[in-house]
Amino acid sequence: MTPSKYKAVMTYLEPKDISDLKKYSKKYRVTMAQVIREALSSKFSQGDPFTAGFNAGIESCITAIHEMQAAQLRFPSGTSMAELIEQELLQKKMTNETTSG
C-alpha cells in the first residue's frame, strides 16, 4: 500500500445516514470519504466568521448553479455542467488551516 496523507478511521453511522451518504456520493460522483472530509472541514471552520462566510458563499453559488437551466446540459459521460462546476467550487472551500497562515 502506498503511503498517503490520509489516515484510516472507523466510525458508526445511522443506516439512513449511510444511505444518504451513498446517494450523495453517487449523485455528485465523489467518494464517500471526500464527502465526510468536506463535512468535517465545514463543521470545524464554523468558529471562524470569515471562513464560514466564504464557505456559505460557495454553497450559495452551488445552489444557484443547480437551478440554472443551462447548467443542466449533460455530457456523454452523464455528468452535468452543474456537477462539474460544483466539484470545482467544493475544492475552493476553506478550512481553518487555509486561513491561519
For residue range 10-26, list pLDDT tens digits in order.
999 999 999 999 998 88
Cβ neighbour number for residue 86 with a 10 Å cutoff:
21
User: Among residues of the chain, what percentage have pLDDT more than 90?
Assistant: 32
- Tell me the C-alpha to C-alpha distance, in Å, between residue 53 and each of 35, 56, 60, 66, 95: 20, 5, 10, 20, 12
- CA 22 – CA 32 distance, rounded (Å): 7
pLDDT at 1: 45
pLDDT tier for residue 51 given thresholds of 50, 70 and 90: confident
Residue 95: Cβ within 10 Å count: 17
Query: Is 70 exceeded by the pLDDT of residue 98?
Result: no
Task: Decide: pTM greater than 0.85.
Answer: no
- pLDDT grade for 46, boundaries at 50, 70 and 90: low
